[in-house]
Amino acid sequence: MISTERDRMQLWHEQSHRYHTELLDFKKLTAEAMEGLRNEHSGIFNALEGAAVRVDRVEREMDYVESQTSPRACANKADKVVEQGAWGLEESRRKDEEEEEDWEELQSSVSDCVEIISGIRSVKILKRVGGPKGMWTKDPRSSKVYVFSGTSGDSIYQFNSVQDFSRSPGINGSRQIWLPSEWSGPGSAVYNGYLYYIQQEDDTDVQVVKYDLLTGTVTDVAMFPVESHAAVYNLNPETAADLAADDEGLWLLYATSDSEPNINLAKMDPATLDIEQIWDTRCPRENAEAAFVVCGTVYVVYNTRQASRSRIQCLFDVNDVVISEEAPLIYFPRRYGAHASLKYNPEEKQLYGWDDGYQIIYRLSMKRKLLV
């Protein structure tokens, strides 16, 4: 009996020792496999980083080549002569008081706002909120930020600042503003405490609504000045019209009909919504994705249906100082897809862009227009 128990104990010790040895071997093999996986992961990560650096270098080289080969800005010899003549008139006025009246007449023909975009200085991607299409903007006279998610809705989201919007998860921390009617398309504008948005009841009834953000009331409504509805940008058919604000006031970009090939521009009185003047920009709607206005100059951004590099390819200056053929071809840095909206802030010299759900800030480089 004792011998039998001793044999069983011996067998148990032998089995325990064997299991322990096998467990140590298994742990060793597992550690070696994990180390191998870590090495492979590190190698893949380094390879991806190297590829990203090479892609970034290629994009910078492409941007450089494009900047060198793009049409030069309005700086040909004739313009230089005109500019020298204009500023020479001021010098002669100082020398001869009799020419003061002529100089004042010349000054009155030139807009107070004399800046034109010369390039994109920097890009900042803030976050990603909402779907591929929408818009966000900032009141030039306030720190508040407004987010329009999607292509239509009866409410918008207000943040106290760009920083608050950037730090918030999604739209948390915002104030939701319910509107008395539905906005249509990412073509709204916020200007001096008022929201201006497009209200579209059907294909023939399109209105511009002025909404007081402080009191929460509609202060004015104006009928859209077209005979039939047509999208202003061929690549963004949801944008029936696009409202823009710059240093000189409020503008409306639109198309008169489906058969109209070009984008039209209207100067609006922000107080009454009256149309002050209308222009044919001669900038085609075909392949246009967005536009904005700076100092009375319309910049139209183009792309392709297979999303590529967005580029400013057509300009129209209401003061006839800059013409499209003389303006530089400016490319936006390659990002995601195509812009659903671009909103200019004249106080900051920045564009607020919506690109495939990403909210982007483009800081612009400016230069002085040549005088006529």
More confident residue, 71 or 363: 363
Least confident of 59-68, 81-90, 166-175, 236-245: 81-90
pLDDT of residue 1: 61
Q: Taking all residues of the chain, what is their mean pLDDT, rounded to a whole number?
A: 81
pLDDT of residue 111: 46
Task: Provide, rounded to the nearest whole percent, the portion of the chain with pLDDT above 70.
Answer: 77
E strand or H helix that includes residue 361: strand 358-368
More confident residue, 323 or 245: 245
- Residue 29 corresponds to which tokens in the numbers above? 């093999």
Q: Cα Rg for the chain, rounded, in angstroms?
A: 31
Q: What is the pTM of this model?
A: 0.70
Q: What is the mean pLDDT of residues 80-84?
A: 34
Task: Work out the pLDDT band at 257, boundaries 50, 70, 90.
Answer: confident
Reported as half-sphere exposure (CB side, CA atoms, 13 A), residue 104 has a value of: 5
Task: Work out the pLDDT band at 100, boundaries 50, 70, 90.
Answer: very low
- Residue 26 corresponds to which tokens in the numbers above? 């298994």
- CA–chain centroid gap for 160, Å, is 20
54 lies in some domain: no
Q: Is the pLDDT of residue 186 over 80?
A: yes
132 lies in some domain: yes
pLDDT of residue 288: 95
pLDDT of residue 63: 47
Among 327, 299, 311, smallest CA distance to 63 is for: 311
258 lies in some domain: yes
Which one of 53-67, 218-232, 233-247 scores highest in mean pLDDT?
A: 233-247
- Residue 95 corresponds to which tokens in the numbers above? 């020398």
73 lies in some domain: no
More confident residue, 333 or 218: 218
More confident residue, 142 or 59: 142
Contact by Cβ (8 Å): 321, 100: no
Q: Is the pLDDT of residue 33 over 90?
A: no
| DSSP state letters, 286-307 | TTEEEEEEETTEEEEEE--SS-
pLDDT of residue 225: 60
More confident residue, 38 or 136: 136
Task: Work out the pLDDT band at 223, boundaries 50, 70, 90.
Answer: confident
| DSSP state letters, 122-187 | EEEEEEE-SSSSEEEEE-TTSS-EEEEESSEEEEEEEES-HHHHHHSSTTTTPEEEEEEEEEESS-
Q: What is the mean pLDDT of residues 119-147?
A: 93
Distance CA 159, CA 162 (A): 7
Q: Is the pLDDT of residue 43 over 50?
A: yes
Contact by Cβ (8 Å): 290, 236: yes
325: domain CATH number is 2.40.128.630
Number of domains observed in the structure of the chain: 1
Count of CB atoms situated within 10 Å of the CB of 40 = 10
Residues 291-302: tens digit of each pLDDT: 999 999 999 999
E strand or H helix that includes residue 340: strand 339-345
48 lies in some domain: no
Q: What is the mean pLDDT of residues 322-340?
A: 79
174 lies in some domain: yes
Q: Is the pLDDT of residue 211 over 80?
A: yes
62 lies in some domain: no
Which one of 35-39, 77-81, 361-365 scores highest in mean pLDDT?
A: 361-365
174: domain range? 115-368
- φ, ψ dihedrals at 157, nearest 5°: -120, 130
Least confident of 102-111, 253-262, 315-324: 102-111
pLDDT of residue 39: 79
Task: Work out the pLDDT band at 46, boundaries 50, 70, 90.
Answer: confident
More confident residue, 103 or 32: 32
19 lies in some domain: no
Reported as half-sphere exposure (CB side, CA atoms, 13 A), residue 89 has a value of: 16
Count of CB atoms situated within 10 Å of the CB of 329 = 15
Q: What is the mean pLDDT of residues 243-255?
A: 94
Distance CA 60, CA 173 (A): 37
Residues 229-243: tens digit of each pLDDT: 689 999 999 998 999
